[in-house]
Amino acid sequence: MRLFVALLGLAAGCGDPGEISQGVDYRPPGTDNPQSGERGSVKISEVLWSGSINDDGTWDPSDVFIELRNEGSFPINLSGWQIEQEGSLERTYVIPETEVRVDVGEHVFIAAKTSGCFPEPDFVVPTLSFRTGDPFELTLLDVDEHLIEPAGSDDAPPFAGGYDGVRSRSMERLELMFGGQGSDPHAWHYYTRANVDVPNNDRIADGCRENTHASPGRPNSPDYSGAFAVGSFE
């Protein structure tokens, strides 16, 4: 707002308004600025909000993750990026410092811990949590606080995924070009066990793969139904 007023003053011939003391510097994205992004360059591609279940049937609602996918044109360093959560919980998660750059097309995931069904996440944010089945909206911001991507809704049930008392399934993004915004329900589906030779759940612990259906850090499973679900996956 101050910048807008200053520009009007210059246009009216009111002289130099002086240095603007507030605002976020803009650094054009590129290989020289790997921590800056542009809108849509990184997507929230999967959310396991319903917790994990090991093969013995023990449910851990605190064992959750968020996956990101680099859809830009250059590698990205996610150090200092933020995910704002709104809905029944309001929190801001900051991605820890790292030297790693996420290559174009690569998936990484942020887990709440390493002691559950996801022992080797790319990032650990211990405060990450969801209230099972409650509305949530996630907003991804880069290190310069540019809006990159929204996902979900702060006043509607989760778009897909859930826990049915036996298995937990994640909410996955359709991996299609022009597949919709993250805030659109039709851009999401629940994890479907893919009948392929190369599994996409190999970053889930061996003792959890029977009942925890998700693809952290890997390409999402195909949506065989051609439809989307709102709420749980039943």
DSSP-assigned letter for residue 102: B
Task: Check which CATH number belongs to the domain holding 65 and give it.
Answer: 2.60.40.1260
Q: What percent of the chain clears pLDDT 70, i.e. is strictly above it?
A: 77
Does residue 227 sit within a domain?
A: no
Does residue 74 sit within a domain?
A: yes
Does residue 6 sit within a domain?
A: no
Average pLDDT over residues 24-36: 63
Could you give the CA distance from residue 158 to residue 189 in angstroms, rounded to a whole number?
A: 10
Report how far apart, in Å, the C-alpha atoms of 221 and of each of 66, 93, 117, 167, 174 are.
Answer: 16, 26, 19, 16, 8
Higher-scoring residue by pLDDT: 1, 67: 67
Number of domains in the chain: 1
Does residue 13 sit within a domain?
A: no
Does residue 131 sit within a domain?
A: yes
Name residue, tokens 């952290």. Answer: 216
Quote the pTM value. Answer: 0.82
Q: Is the pLDDT of residue 112 over 80?
A: yes
Tell me: the pLDDT tens digits for 169-219? 999 998 765 557 899 998 999 998 866 667 899 999 999 999 999 999 999
Does residue 77 sit within a domain?
A: yes
Tell me what pLDDT residue 97 has: 95
The alpha helices in the chain, defined as continuous H runs, are 2-11
Q: Domain range spanning residue 191?
A: 33-213
DSSP-assigned letter for residue 59: E
Please, what is the average pLDDT of the chain? Answer: 84
Single-letter code of the amino acid located at 16? D
